[in-house]
């Protein structure tokens, strides 16, 4: 769902649909495999069929689509929005914003390198989401 207000993010996000495994502390959900909508140095947005409550801690496994191992930051859900049934793309899904709370220096440096390469190539920065 596009948002027309001011983007207050510290870190811009790049539209980059990489694979991500979300492991919620809510044991009833189990691991969820999805694609990112966008990603930045501070976190990512992912679209899921199930809601994960605000401030729920999550473990992530993100495939940056390069030849190295997946990065494995920890995060927490900082916003979630249920899509409306009238939306054409993925109606009744949830858009979740996940902020990175813990990321190793090695994973941080790799993420920075990949995002910088995308920005240098002119990959579109994402529009802000609420």
More confident residue, 71 or 120: 71
pTM for this one?
0.82
pLDDT, position 13: 79
Q: How confident is the model at residue 6 (pLDDT cuts 50, 70, 90)?
A: very low
Beta strands in the chain (DSSP E): 13-14, 19-24, 32-40, 43-48, 57-63, 74-82, 94-102
Residue position matching structure tokens 């109606």: 91
Q: Are 76 and 99 in contact (CB under 8 A)?
A: yes
């Amino acid at each position: 769902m596009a948002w027309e207000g001011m983007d207050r993010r510290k870190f811009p996000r790049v539209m980059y649909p990489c694979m991500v495994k979300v492991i919620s502390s809510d044991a009833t959900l189990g691991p969820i495999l999805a694609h990112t909508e966008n990603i930045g140095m501070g976190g990512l947005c992912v679209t899921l069929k199930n809601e994960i409550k605000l401030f729920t801690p999550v473990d992530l496994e993100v495939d940056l689509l390069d030849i190295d191992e997946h990065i494995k930051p920890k995060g927490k859900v900082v916003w979630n929005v249920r899509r409306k049934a009238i939306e054409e793309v993925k109606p009744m899904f949830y858009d979740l914003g996940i902020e990175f709370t813990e990321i190793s220096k090695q994973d941080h440096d790799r993420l920075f390198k990949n995002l910088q390469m995308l920005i240098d190539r002119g990959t579109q920065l994402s529009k802000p989401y609420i």
